[in-house]
Structure 1
């Protein structure tokens, strides 16, 4: 017992901080649940509050909303994956409390009153709500364009355009945005580019390699991979963008819990194994659905029939992802019968987990999008969004076969 503690009463001894003795050499990342980190002296605290460099041997942690050791492990790991072969040396990542926290924080950090931004018409329902509800209240104007042609972005640019936003593959129609073209356009016009790459996963799609400035993910999906956490990621190509976004993340309070980032970095350890199966299963199922008499149309970049298949081969490597959209003959009622008839596949929203999930976009994930916008985006009433899992491919085909018979 520390001799300095001998004079303390029981209740003081019970609550006083006890330090971990090291070195520990833990193979698994510890979960640092501490909200607050103690300081060596007043100068140490001042440096952290001002976000200045601390002295050698001093802790860089102040308060977990600002940063946490467990979160830091996941963030550095994700940065390595996102950077890929881009050669970027100043890229950095924040893990946020959800995918929507990542998207909204990035938008609020990079757009201000009087700015204009260009977004795709084919976009996640939550993002659609942000750009039609939140951004107008901030005084930010938005133009939505068909993302399949980069000229649509070019023609939408105004003198006050500050952001070009892409989502590739798009949710749920699987339309691609040409990442290299978008990145080049942003650099040429000095406009920040942001891309949501959730659908493709970092295993298949790495926008930073194509010159994009900021990449966001719903880490709930493929990064986590087990439908047991909610998180998001924001990876910036340079320190200036990272610091600007970090300021807003701290103010808005969307920091992820260390319990979540522990699960996240654990899930990432099997990301490559899971994605190999997602890619294989989805391609086989897309081919099966394309040949089925009761399926009118299949949207999957890995199919030669996809209008952007050649682009997919350039920017989606080594595979085309685990997401499929397909339209059942008979419209909304036929689609509803299919999703209510599956047995192995689960009727549920979300995506990217090891289990296969299916839903009807027009009545579920995109019901908040007005009908006119849905139709212009290619989201028909009968469109089903299918997150292909890691089950046995023969079992998945058998389940879809019996469900389609009821359409």
Structure 2
């Protein structure tokens, strides 16, 4: 059986600071030829990438931000050409890379469905056969004859995914764009992609949601700084990805992190973690220092800390509100401490931090701080290898218990 996708020694080079070429008059062109601009620095977004995907495979492409995932998908989708190398596709490919990709804002939802079908090479009869299913899945039926420019980003996403999934391309390419949708729709999409995969079609999937990746894909590739560092079973790829995160992204200074949410008037400045490695049963201590960006009175603050596994499951969530501890922020030199009971088993975990003032999120940081729970325990377990699940609680066991 021939692979449905062959990627052969793909490289992509970009110029830093490169801008889209503007229209130049003849005079401008002549002037530019005698006054060449300074040579811009280049960098390799992808370098010598090779792999094969067979019909019916679901392949995850995993890596940190800037690793080259989206660039690779754009090359596969023929949106941008490679600088070097070759790609062979043996089937129709539909891609969902950005909200609105392939849609025309002035056309209605109905017209865009037929436009996308035409781009995939389908006839009107083939599109009509799937039309009702597309509308039903997307849930935009009441707005079907409304121009797309009046759709919200969520509505555009639902329609775009419905079109890509139901028009039966042999290859379906999905980027992190699904993060735009609500959790119920994300789950609906994952179920549909599973159905698509079982029907024998091929899926390439990029996501930071490792639970979704694991549920959908059996194999994956790991990208690091534009280089494919590993290809193999999805569990091995996820493990390598997490180990890389632990080594490179654990931070104590927080005010320089760019990917955060919230109003940003009051933000996290530092996190203090006295013990980088805690044993199961030992309390986890976290100190949080704030930084005032916009001077003001910040009263009745709500601090939140969530500890998550690398499948993005929240295992512990604590807040000063849970114990009715009211805080007014007075001084940026103050440090607010959490002391958290720890029944986690050994492994690596990520932290999500948020601060809310007057019921509005001021700052939210996720997947940038990591802690490790080491081997051993404080409860006298003699066989920790047998523990199932993520929690390692203290407990007792009795024969003929009578309440004594």
TM-score by length of 1: 0.28
Return the structure number with greater relative CO, CA threshold 8 A, min gap 6: 1
Higher fraction of strand: 2
